[in-house]
Structure 1
Amino acid sequence: MTLVSRRLGAAALAGAVATCVTVAVAGPGAVAAPGSSDAAADRDFGVEVLSGRPDMVTGGDVLVAVTVPRTVPVRHVEIRLDGADVTDVFAPASQDDDVLVGLVEGLDTGENTLRVDANGRGRGRPSTELELVNHPDTGPVFSGPQVPMYCSADGEPWNLGPVDENCHVDGTDVTYRYMTPGGELADLPDEDSLPADVATTTTTDGEEVPYVVRVERGTINRAVYETAILHEPGTPLPDAWTDTPGWNGKLVYTFGGGCGVGYRQGTATGGVEQDLLLSQGYAVASSTLNVYQNNCDDVTSAETAMMVKEHLVETYGPDTFTMGWGGSAGTMQQLLISNSYPGILDGVIGNIGYSDERTVTTNGHDCRGFVDYWADTDLEWTDAERRAVTGYGNPNACFGYTLFDGVDDPQRGCHPSIPVEDRWSATNPHGLRCTISDQVSNVYGVDENGYGRRAVPDNVGIQYGLEALQDGTITSEQFVDLNAGVGGMDVNGERTEARSQADPAALEAAYSTGRVNQFTGGLTHTPVLEVRRYRDDVGDFHDRYRSWVMRERVLAAHGNANTHVSWTSPDNPEVNAQMEADALATMDSWLTARLELASNDDAVREDTVAARPADLTDGCYRADGSFVSETISYDGGGVCNELFPYHADPRVVAGGPLASDILKCSLTGLDRDGYAVEFTDEQWARMQHTFPSGVCDWSAPGVGQVGLAGTWIDFG
């Protein structure tokens, strides 16, 4: 693998990075024009940033490639940064003397100009300029004004040294780990010699190398980051000019699950010491702000991933392509980042995941209402009846989903590490409000109280258990009583008798900026392979229905699902491991074929579909590990649905769409004749009290449900 093939491959896949728009959002901002200049045949210089976008350089350095026209001898090239000669940092890229690569340092914060000339310039001598916009390595770049941050880089488990006001430490910490005969990574006792029992491994390039891992840690964008790569100490590291046998040239970026309000630097990343990835020669990277339990904000997650990847490329050289990796909300981040900030990830490998945070969080609020109602009602409810109104395979899934509603509670959403005296309360109105809406107020805006505008919860008009009523599973009294008693939550996290109401401005921002994932941005052309171990029957809220939600949205956006593949397996560790390994190899093949098809820098859906392996289908794994090739279908039969049946959620049972993409429904009037049962006058009076403005009209678009305004939105 030469640098040039990596560079051209990365450019072909990352072409959508150049897709930008100027949009007005809650935090007003505009995306600058992207760019690298293209060489005009043999006459002009071509200048390309290899480490990211020219308008989003960070940390004061940038990796640049200059393509020299055939009319200019390489020795006559002169390169200057804001007038200062930087030619000496450039050297030929591998075998290609007409491509010079250099790590240019010393950029000022803000605008910089890189100028390339043929010395002895005169009439007809080529020259070109590239504008570079540099940002601090502490951020922000496009996420907007930063929230307060409680530091942890100076404590356990990192112990990286003293931190500054931005939670940053000087320098990096490098350690070496080796694979023991017992199959565990352990600290390398001596970097001058390898243990006699060190394992070896063979990369996807067929290189057999000692299983020794270089782990680097530091701080970027106020996060602690980690990178890992196979490398034997004492030998040259890979860089932009040098290949080494331990790295196959490809990057896997890992993301962690959960969902928690930030304000803290965090104590875990998505994990880089992963045998499946490292043993095959992949570089692995992640950071604490890519763990949703620590930072449930896909904008700062995207920004941080971009910056960490930039650092890795500047350190080790360009990667061929980058695959995402992670489960639960780790999948959620991959999908949101790929759709809103395309080019950071080239392919998504998700596990037990969801489409986005806001539409899943609604289920947490629905379930909170159910759980509180069932604790107080005098009516008897069987498990079958509870299952019928929740839609889940097991009603206990609702207890799991109640974890989600805490992220909209300004007090309950705070992590224990945030001092109580710093938190918002009625007696401390200027304290930190630990809600998603407040943490991501750059996206949603603020209300007249200075609180982040709420995109959820909202359950006005929802007739919980409607389908269960219509098919006779629950009685009219249960239906009326449930809907009268489910209640809502106010802006300060207090349970209320009244239903919850979202802010219309926040709802529109959620759709237009991509927080509700409509799969119409970068996911138009980004391949997605999502896998799921089946646990619907035991009440796990990572239910298979979430796979169908993705499929519904892809079909609605594109009319076909040629870029989305879904696999399911039994809850069996060995089969799960086989499925994950198959997914990694398959996505690698898909992206490799995508590179071979690309003839320019346009990342288009047609090329991605054409590159899809011919034998790649939806399907499921049996308990013996054999694969069933079968297109997924929500209502259809087949082996996979027999083995792993789909279920639903409370809003689907209430008549909502399978795409689960409506945060707040449009309303229509109550119609007493529209039910399969008859209500008593007393019951109907309670219905009118519960739904004074009407009930959901699911055939109409949701309130504020608009299209995606564009990608690479800047909230600064």
Structure 2
Amino acid sequence: MSGCGDDDDGGTGQTGTPPLTGTSIKVLSGRADMVTGGDALVEVLPPAGAVPATLRVSVGGRDQSANFAVRANGRVIGLVTGLTAGTNTIEATSSNGSFAGARLTVTNAGVNAPVLLRSHIEPYICATPQAVAATADSAGTNASGLSAAPTDAQCTTRAETKLYYRTLTAAGTGGCAFVIPDPSPTAANPAPTTPANSCFQPYVAGTTQASAIATTTPLGSTTAVPYIVRVERGVINRGIYDIAVLFDPSRPWTFDAPQPQWTGKVVHNFGGSTGQPRLQARPNSSWVDNNALSRGYMVAVNSLTDSANNSNRVLVAETVMKMKEHIIEQYGELRAYIGNGGSGGAINQNTVASISPGLLDGLQIQLDFADSVTTAIEVSDCVQLVNFYAGPAWTGLMQQQGLTQAQINAKKAAINGHLDQLGCHSWNNAFGTANKPGNYQAVLVANAAGQLFTSPAVTNNCRLPAAQVYDRVRNPNGIRCSDPDAAVAVWGTTPGTNRANQTNDNVGVQYGLKALQSGAITPEEFVTLNEGVGGSDADSNLTPQRSVADLDALRTAYRAGLVVSGTQVSRVPIIDQRTPDEQGIHYNWRSFSQRDRLARDNGGNFGNQVIWRHNGGASLAGLSLTTMDSWLNALNTSAPKPSANAVRTQAQVIAGKPATAFDFCYLSTDATYSNQVRDFTTCDQDPPLAVRSSPRQVAGGPRTEDILKCQLKALNFADYGTIVFTETQQARLRAVFATGVCDWSRPGVNQEATASPLTFAAGPGGVPLAPEPVSTPI
């Protein structure tokens, strides 16, 4: 491999010979205007016939020619270093004038500085090597898993690496377990060691015997390699990350010569749940992913792409962008960057693909939710409903009619749209307080009958000392801890307050409409329900009035792709594994809501998504990864990406679809999971796999469930068909729906096509990203 910049002559450039033209420069590790960390992997494309030895590369006048060389693939690539904050100019010229040069302006930010956002949320408490307990006046810290303390308020910490090997012990019952081999210290265990039952044990050069190490064969290879894993841990975007990959300790690894056991592909594991603590933590998702590592995939995790640690979805996308950039610069160019995760991890995959298309090349989704903004519709509806059911209007009506508890539960299920009444209980108890901005005591459902109790524990979503947190009376300017407030840089605030704009709205929603039409509830029950269901205020307190969204938030949600766009997510392969959780929060209809968005926004086409339904007893992780691998291999051939974050079309994605990527289910009666049923009509008739609905769909809304605030039409009793309301009931409904009822045939208020990708660097609301900078001739 010949170098660049070590021969001033090169045998060309004689007097009178015109210089060759056409030189260009491009950044390989991301967008040129979004470089982070002070370095960038750069390719120089000199004109045909140019002699690379005459190439000179400089940044701001500093010579970086020694970093560039003609690599084994024939391309001139180098790692530009020492970029300063702000704009930098890269110039590629010829030392002897044999070819005309080019320049490219790149914009660099710190590895922990905001890029897509104007600011990151504050305060944010950095983790420390040893956890520190909280006091009444100060927040505690989590254990970082790093030996060094942060060096600044942005949690900058030196990266570290460790090696582990896969033991020969079989995994499973009585064998080893794929658990984190370096658990965090706790008060009870301040110096933890690798668990004896961990399938990964520390590798010590010169001590660990080769005969003790398992082997594995990466995808695309026929050669088994020692199953040794290198784990890099550090801080990117203020999130603690792990990057794990098969590694040969006896060999070097550079960006231009990665070790061959790596497939050049990454699985980024996204963590579940949702939350907005202000405390930095280790990732909840794990690099210990035998399914991916054993097949030669790199595994990446970051605590800020774990939904439980961060519900600001733009910050999630920004973190993925920085992780991907770092991997390309340090490990080499990528053949694929794939998501993986369920529930909140599904939200993050879908939202990243929607708001920053091109970052992810494929989505492996379990327990699908399209996004957090529209998932909140069902959460808020369920909170309203369980509190209404426990109130005097409903309980009195049920007692007056002499109904049994089973009959009452059946009415609740019909209104909720779920298998039974328990689903809304689960939503209330798990996430009913997510939008509480201050200290609170959760109101929880106590039993299957829906009785409520108030938890004695006082807490807040920031996990900060109570005195620092917002209180409407005592501390109105305190730190707000709700889900929207964690992304105030995206949503903006309502005038005169520090409260983030919000999308919650139920004005005009006719709860229980389809239950009324089917005869599951009576006209009096329908009227009483809609009179009493109420809404919530800006602080997530229940109110008799309906909830009203901030109009600016609605526009932002749609334009930014935070309400996931079927257009944007049509551009990646999606493998959706759906297991039933009809008494919890993960309902079967969610996968088909995503499908409906794809079909609506792409002329009826949803061919980039496949759904695999089963009862939870089968592990399809291996099949998902190998199917996705085949899909992306085909796309790399038929529709190669010209840059790391380029976007494919739905047609290209579908054209590359492998024969193994098709819809199927395993029926619940198939104990051996041996018969893949392709007829979804048959699957729908299996009770655990049946597709039900939600309170908003029972109210007449579409299964896409992406109308945040409905447009209204006048209340018209002719619309109820043969259902008869008394004059008194009609008057009561007119009072409830004085401004009208939802017209679900029309788009929602401020609902518009996505304009993503947006940048929020100039402030809330966002503006479309400008075209990526390109080099210009010198």
Calculate the TM-score normalised by the size of structure 1.
Answer: 0.88
Post-superposition offset of 1:61: 0.6
Does the CA-based 8 Å contact 2:426-2:585 persist in structure 1? yes
> Partner of 2:609 in structure 1?
564
Q: Can you list the C-alpha shifts for 1:426-465, whole angstroms capped at 9, x where unaligned? A: 2111111111222212222211232344433211111111
More displaced, 640-649 or 656-665?
Answer: 640-649
> Partner of 1:192 in structure 2?
206
> Partner of 1:374 in structure 2?
389
> Partner of 2:598 in structure 1?
554
| Local SS of the residue matching 2:232 | strand
| Local SS of the residue matching 2:598 | helix
2: CA distance between counterparts of 1:599 and 1:175? 34
> Partner of 1:44 in structure 2?
22
Does the CA-based 8 Å contact 2:489-2:760 persist in structure 1? no
> Partner of 2:414 in structure 1?
388
More displaced, 682-691 or 103-112?
Answer: 682-691
**Structure 1 residue identity aligned to 2:414:** A
Q: How many residues align?
A: 660
> Partner of 1:253 in structure 2?
268
| Local SS of the residue matching 1:431 | coil
Q: Can you list the C-alpha shifts for 1:60-97, whole angstroms capped at 9, x where unaligned? A: 0111122333311121111111111101011222242x
**Structure 2 residue identity aligned to 1:642:** D
> Partner of 1:415 in structure 2?
461
Unaligned residue ranges in structure 1 (runs of 5+): 3-41
**Structure 2 residue identity aligned to 1:143:** L
2:117 corresponds to 1:70: no
2:246 corresponds to 1:230: yes
> Partner of 2:134 in structure 1?
none
Aligned counterpart for 2:630 among listed residues 589, 603, 607: 589
2:301 corresponds to 1:286: yes
2:84 corresponds to 1:108: yes
2: CA distance between counterparts of 1:118 and 1:631? 64
Does the CA-based 8 Å contact 1:355-1:517 persist in structure 2? yes
Aligned counterpart for 1:666 among listed residues 687, 692, 711: 711
1: CA distance between counterparts of 2:256 and 2:232? 20
2:407 corresponds to 1:360: no
Post-superposition offset of 1:398: 0.7
2:125 corresponds to 1:150: yes
More displaced, 158-167 or 314-323?
Answer: 158-167
2: CA distance between counterparts of 1:116 and 1:72? 12
Post-superposition offset of 1:213: 1.1
> Partner of 2:433 in structure 1?
406
2: CA distance between counterparts of 1:186 and 1:46? 46
Structure with the larger RCO, 1 or 2 (CA within 8 Å, 6+ apart): 1
> Partner of 2:102 in structure 1?
128
Aligned counterpart for 2:234 among listed residues 218, 231, 246: 218
2: CA distance between counterparts of 1:326 and 1:352? 9
2: CA distance between counterparts of 1:627 and 1:595? 31
2:724 corresponds to 1:678: yes
| Local SS of the residue matching 1:407 | coil
**Structure 2 residue identity aligned to 1:87:** S
2: CA distance between counterparts of 1:446 and 1:417? 22
| Local SS of the residue matching 2:105 | strand
Does the CA-based 8 Å contact 2:112-2:156 persist in structure 1? no
> Partner of 1:436 in structure 2?
483
CA RMSD between the two structures? 2.0
Post-superposition offset of 1:336: 1.1
> Partner of 2:589 in structure 1?
545
Does the CA-based 8 Å contact 1:532-1:569 persist in structure 2? yes
Does the CA-based 8 Å contact 1:301-1:333 persist in structure 2? yes
Does the CA-based 8 Å contact 1:192-1:234 persist in structure 2? no
2:219 corresponds to 1:204: yes
2: CA distance between counterparts of 1:113 and 1:516? 37
1: CA distance between counterparts of 2:615 and 2:523? 38
More displaced, 330-339 or 672-681?
Answer: 672-681
**Structure 1 residue identity aligned to 2:575:** L
2:654 corresponds to 1:609: yes
Indicate how the Cα distance of structure 1 residues 600 and 203 shifts in structure 2: closer, same or farther if over 3 A, else same: closer
Indicate how the Cα distance of structure 1 residues 246 and 157 shifts in structure 2: closer, same or farther if over 3 A, else same: farther
> Partner of 2:114 in structure 1?
140
Does the CA-based 8 Å contact 1:535-1:571 persist in structure 2? no
2:739 corresponds to 1:713: no
Indicate how the Cα distance of structure 1 residues 667 and 278 shifts in structure 2: closer, same or farther if over 3 A, else same: same
1: CA distance between counterparts of 2:103 and 2:675? 54
> Partner of 1:699 in structure 2?
745
Q: Could you tell me the percent identity over the aligned residues? A: 33
1: CA distance between counterparts of 2:759 and 2:612? 32
**Structure 2 residue identity aligned to 1:152:** A
Q: Can you list the C-alpha shifts for 1:103-122, whole angstroms capped at 9, x where unaligned? A: 11100111111111122116
Q: Can you list the C-alpha shifts for 1:539-564, whole angstroms capped at 9, x where unaligned? A: 02111100110011000100211211
Aligned counterpart for 1:171 among listed residues 127, 142, 158: 158
1: CA distance between counterparts of 2:637 and 2:539? 54
Indicate how the Cα distance of structure 1 residues 664 and 404 shifts in structure 2: closer, same or farther if over 3 A, else same: farther
Unaligned residue ranges in structure 2 (runs of 5+): 2-19, 132-141, 172-197, 399-406, 441-458, 763-778
2: CA distance between counterparts of 1:74 and 1:157? 49
2: CA distance between counterparts of 1:260 and 1:547? 22
> Partner of 1:351 in structure 2?
366
> Partner of 1:626 in structure 2?
674
1: CA distance between counterparts of 2:203 and 2:164? 9
2:282 corresponds to 1:267: yes
Post-superposition offset of 1:234: 3.6
Q: How does 1:477-488 map to 2 (within 5 A)?
A: 477-488=524-535
Indicate how the Cα distance of structure 1 residues 607 and 75 shifts in structure 2: closer, same or farther if over 3 A, else same: same
2: CA distance between counterparts of 1:665 and 1:168? 43
> Partner of 1:7 in structure 2?
none
| Local SS of the residue matching 2:390 | helix
Q: Can you list the C-alpha shifts for 1:262-291, whole angstroms capped at 9, x where unaligned? A: 423233242211110111110011111001
Does the CA-based 8 Å contact 1:261-1:414 persist in structure 2? no
2:447 corresponds to 1:471: no
Does the CA-based 8 Å contact 2:277-2:463 persist in structure 1? no
Indicate how the Cα distance of structure 1 residues 189 and 566 shifts in structure 2: closer, same or farther if over 3 A, else same: closer
| Local SS of the residue matching 1:628 | coil
| Local SS of the residue matching 1:477 | helix
Post-superposition offset of 1:641: 4.4
Does the CA-based 8 Å contact 2:165-2:203 persist in structure 1? no
Post-superposition offset of 1:368: 0.5
More displaced, 706-715 or 105-114?
Answer: 706-715
**Structure 2 residue identity aligned to 1:379:** L
| Local SS of the residue matching 1:349 | strand
Does the CA-based 8 Å contact 1:512-1:706 persist in structure 2? yes
Q: Which has the larger radius of gyration?
A: 2
| Local SS of the residue matching 2:104 | strand
Q: Can you list the C-alpha shifts for 1:546-592, whole angstroms capped at 9, x where unaligned? A: 011001100010021121111111121xx1x1x22111111111111
| Local SS of the residue matching 2:718 | helix
Q: Can you list the C-alpha shifts for 1:373-425, whole angstroms capped at 9, x where unaligned? A: 11123233522211111001232111222233422221248336311111100
1: CA distance between counterparts of 2:309 and 2:366? 19
1: CA distance between counterparts of 2:641 and 2:233? 36
Aligned counterpart for 1:455 among listed residues 490, 493, 502: 502
| Local SS of the residue matching 2:168 | coil
Does the CA-based 8 Å contact 2:121-2:486 persist in structure 1? yes
